[in-house]
């Protein structure tokens, strides 16, 4: 759960071109819910995520939104879920850290703004994190270490830990796609995609990983 690396170029919010196969997620993403209203007791970095099964059962709406946002962005939902599970310790909206990252996708305010989103709004936190992951995935495919360098933006040791955590969560989700699909009000299509349904190699050029000066942000930007 570290600071998200941001690209040197700013990006605007992408337009939803089609509905996902997780209709309740599509509907929930239309809301504008301040994280402060979801988390009246503030944010914490305690590790109480539990298993993926427990976390999905507890955070069904957040999981549905992540699935829908990932499908709308054209990336595999299971990798977006794996990133959120690891970053926020269980898809937790109230996850936060001393570095200033918040929410289920652990965004900095600056990263969210770069994509045209307000990371302090739950649904935009998810969209901003998915947009960041979309660009990383286009450059990296399923190279976990490459994804870590573009999404995690921390020390080599922390990126290695991120790689292990996300890879482990991703494999669990791939081995049991019904877990995540259960959050889509019975729709088993949302996460039943196999390896052939999404590209596993880079599909488009993406900006290079940020330099350290791009990752470090001021107190006003976190």
Question: Could you report the per-residue pLDDT of 96-112, keeping only the tens digit for each?
Answer: 988 889 999 999 999 99
Lookup: tokens for 108: 């900095």
| Percent helix / strand / coil, the chain, rounded to 5 | 50, 5, 50
12 occurs within a structural domain: no
Per-residue pLDDT band at 48 (split at 50, 70, 90)? low
212 occurs within a structural domain: no
59 occurs within a structural domain: yes
Angular region, 117: left φ>0, alpha ψ -120 to 50, beta rest: beta
The CATH number of residue 32's host domain is 1.10.530
Please state, rounded to an integer, the average pLDDT across all residues of the chain.
80
The confidence score (pLDDT) of residue 100 equals 87
Report which of 148, 181, 150 is spatially closest to residue 167, judged by C-alpha positions: 148
37 occurs within a structural domain: yes
1 occurs within a structural domain: no
The confidence score (pLDDT) of residue 18 equals 63
What's the Rg (C-alpha) of the chain? Answer: 16
**What is the helix (H) or strand (E) element at residue 152, kind and residue range?**
none
The confidence score (pLDDT) of residue 97 equals 87
The confidence score (pLDDT) of residue 87 equals 94
204 occurs within a structural domain: no
Domain count, the chain: 1
209 occurs within a structural domain: no
d(CA 31, CA 42): 21
pLDDT digit string (tens) for 188-199?
344 433 333 344
Percent of the chain predicted with pLDDT > 90 = 66
Label each residue of 168-192 as H, E or C.
Answer: HHHHHHHHCCHHHHCCCCCCCCCCC
Global model pTM greater than 0.75: yes
128 occurs within a structural domain: yes
One-character DSSP codes across 196-216:
GGS-SS--S--PPPPPHHHH-
Per-residue pLDDT band at 49 (split at 50, 70, 90)? low
- Domain that residue 63 falls in: 23-196
pLDDT digit string (tens) for 143-168?
999 999 999 888 999 999 999 999 99
The confidence score (pLDDT) of residue 170 equals 97
Percent of the chain predicted with pLDDT > 70 = 74
pLDDT digit string (tens) for 5-46?
434 333 333 334 468 899 999 999 999 999 999 999 999 887
Look-up: residue for tokens 């992408």?
A: 14
């Amino acid at each position: 759960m570290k600071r998200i690396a941001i690209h040197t170029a700013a990006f605007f919010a992408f337009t939803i071109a089609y509905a996902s196969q997780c209709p309740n997620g599509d509907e929930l993403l239309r809301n504008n819910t301040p994280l402060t209203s979801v988390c009246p007791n503030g944010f914490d970095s305690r590790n109480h995520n539990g298993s993926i099964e427990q976390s999905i059962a507890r955070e069904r709406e957040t999981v549905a939104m992540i699935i829908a946002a990932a499908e709308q962005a054209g990336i595999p939902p299971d990798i977006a879920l794996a990133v959120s599970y690891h970053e926020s310790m269980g898809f937790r909206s109230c996850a936060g850290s001393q570095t200033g990252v918040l929410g289920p996708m652990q965004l900095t305010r600056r990263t969210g703004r770069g994509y045209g989103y307000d990371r302090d709004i739950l649904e935009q936190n998810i969209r901003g994190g998915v947009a960041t992951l979309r660009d990383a995935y286009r450059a990296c495919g399923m190279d976990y270490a490459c994804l870590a360098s573009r999404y995690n933006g921390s020390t080599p040791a922390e990126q290695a830990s991120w790689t292990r955590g996300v890879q482990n969560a991703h494999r669990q989700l791939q081995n049991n796609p019904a877990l995540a699909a259960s959050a889509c009000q019975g729709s088993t299509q949302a996460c039943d995609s196999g390896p052939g349904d999404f590209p596993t190699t880079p599909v488009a050029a993406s900006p290079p990983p940020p330099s350290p000066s791009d990752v470090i942000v001021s107190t006003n930007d976190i």
